[in-house]
């Protein structure tokens, strides 16, 4: 029986506060751990993780993925993988986190699964970018390889002379075909076998629908086909909890734009009566109950 949960995230987060409430109501001991405090120690007696609340937790929920050096990111993913290998339930699992955080890998994984996605390319120069924009009909959506909440997204037209600062600094980005649309998309939050949805409507004068960019959340009942696409997309990335963004094109055909393996649900909770945090705990419990736990501690 699930009795303890470690949340990797910020104690000041709205999401963490909601999860703590849900844990309290279900008698689950919950600890919140900052990424910068985790570590591990290995000797002949085995491997020990710190803090102790991380080492002893029945399950670990990854609530944030903070920026860091390449070495920090790799080491953190390595520790999550080791925790998972020794029997701890880690959601989402490290492989799905690594895949989903990379926008190009996400797109190609979805494409391999037969899911409709915009044409995409990795570009490392202005020449490559302009060539892709031309191939995509004169305009491309330029995205950082790693990014969230619409940060860094730029509509790039082939005759634009100035490149986005993030592209110049990183030296690489994803260029994606721009899908003509009516200014809204759907965020479908997959939580195990369940799904919660909202419509995101772009603010006036804004092409991005992200809530952080001024988008408006509305109640939405997606078509059955869209729900199936969302579950297929989450499965393609190996994620049990995923925010899937689906955009209807001008002809109504759905396109999957993003799969976020560390999704938020604050705006979504305002337009649904279901307790999303409780659903997340139920999914964690299901994975804990169905997984062997020999030799964990």
Six-digit token pair at 214?
């001024």
Residue with tokens 């199936």: 228
- Residue-range domains of the chain with CATH: 4-92+280-289 (3.40.50.20), 99-116+180-261 (3.30.470.20), 120-177 (3.30.1490)
Residues contacting residue 253 through CB under 8 Å, at least 6 positions apart? 116
Q: How far apart are CA 268 and CA 276, in angstroms?
A: 9
Q: How far apart are CA 257 and CA 116, in angstroms?
A: 9
When computed from its CA atoms, the radius of gyration of the chain, rounded to whole angstroms, is: 20
Q: In tens digits, what is the pLDDT along the chain, a chain of 297 residues? A: 899 999 999 999 999 999 999 999 999 999 999 999 999 999 998 899 999 999 999 999 999 988 888 899 899 999 999 999 988 999 999 999 999 999 999 999 999 999 999 999 999 998 999 999 999 999 999 998 886 655 678 888 876 667 788 888 889 999 999 999 999 999 999 999 999 999 999 999 999 999 988 999 999 999 999 999 999 999 999 999 999 999 999 999 999 999 999 999 999 999 999 999 999 999 999 999 987 654 454
Please give the DSSP secondary-structure letter assigned to residue 51.
Answer: S
Residues contacting residue 17 through CB under 8 Å, at least 6 positions apart? none
What's the pLDDT score for residue 294? 47
Helix axes 94-101, 70-85, angle to 10 degrees: 150
User: What would the DSSP string read from start to end of 179-244?
Assistant: PP-SSEEEEEEEETTEEEEEEEEPPTT-----GGGT-EEEE----HHHHHHHHHHHHHHT-SEEEE
What is the rounded (10 degree) CA torsion for 186, 170, 102, 155?
Answer: 20
What's the pLDDT score for residue 163? 79
Q: Is 209 exposed, middle or buried (0-12, 13-18, 19+ CB in 10 A)?
A: buried
């Amino acid at each position: 029986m699930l009795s303890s949960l470690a949340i990797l995230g910020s104690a000041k987060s709205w999401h963490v506060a909601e999860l703590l409430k849900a844990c309290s109501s279900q008698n689950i001991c919950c600890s919140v751990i900052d990424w910068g405090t985790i570590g591990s120690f290995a000797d002949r007696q085995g491997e020990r993780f710190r803090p102790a609340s991380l080492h002893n937790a029945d399950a670990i929920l990854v609530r944030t993925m903070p920026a860091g050096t390449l070495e920090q990111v790799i080491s953190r993913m390595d520790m999550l993988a080791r925790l998972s290998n020794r029997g701890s339930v880690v959601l989402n699992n490290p492989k799905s986190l690594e895949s989903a955080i990379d926008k190009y890998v996400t797109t190609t994984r979805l494409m391999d699964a037969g899911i409709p996605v915009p044409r995409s390319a990795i570009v490392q120069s202005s020449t490559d970018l302009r060539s892709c924009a031309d191939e995509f009909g004169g305009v491309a959506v330029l995205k950082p390889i790693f990014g969230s909440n619409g940060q860094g997204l730029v509509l790039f037209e082939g005759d634009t002379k100035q490149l986005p600062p993030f592209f110049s600094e990183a030296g690489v980005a994803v260029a994606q075909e721009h899908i003509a649309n009516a200014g809204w998309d759907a965020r479908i939050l997959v939580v195990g076998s369940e799904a919660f949805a909202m419509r995101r409507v772009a603010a006036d004068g804004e092409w991005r629908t992200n809530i952080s960019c001024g988008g408006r959340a509305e109640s939405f009942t997606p078509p059955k086909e869209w729900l199936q696409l969302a579950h297929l997309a989450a499965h393609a990335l190996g994620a049990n909890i995923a925010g899937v963004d689906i955009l209807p094109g001008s002809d109504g055909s759905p396109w999957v734009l993003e799969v976020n393996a560390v999704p938020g649900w604050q705006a979504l909770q305002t337009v649904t009566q279901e307790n999303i945090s409780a659903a997340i705990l139920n999914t964690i419990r299901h994975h804990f109950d169905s997984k062997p736990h020999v030799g964990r501690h």
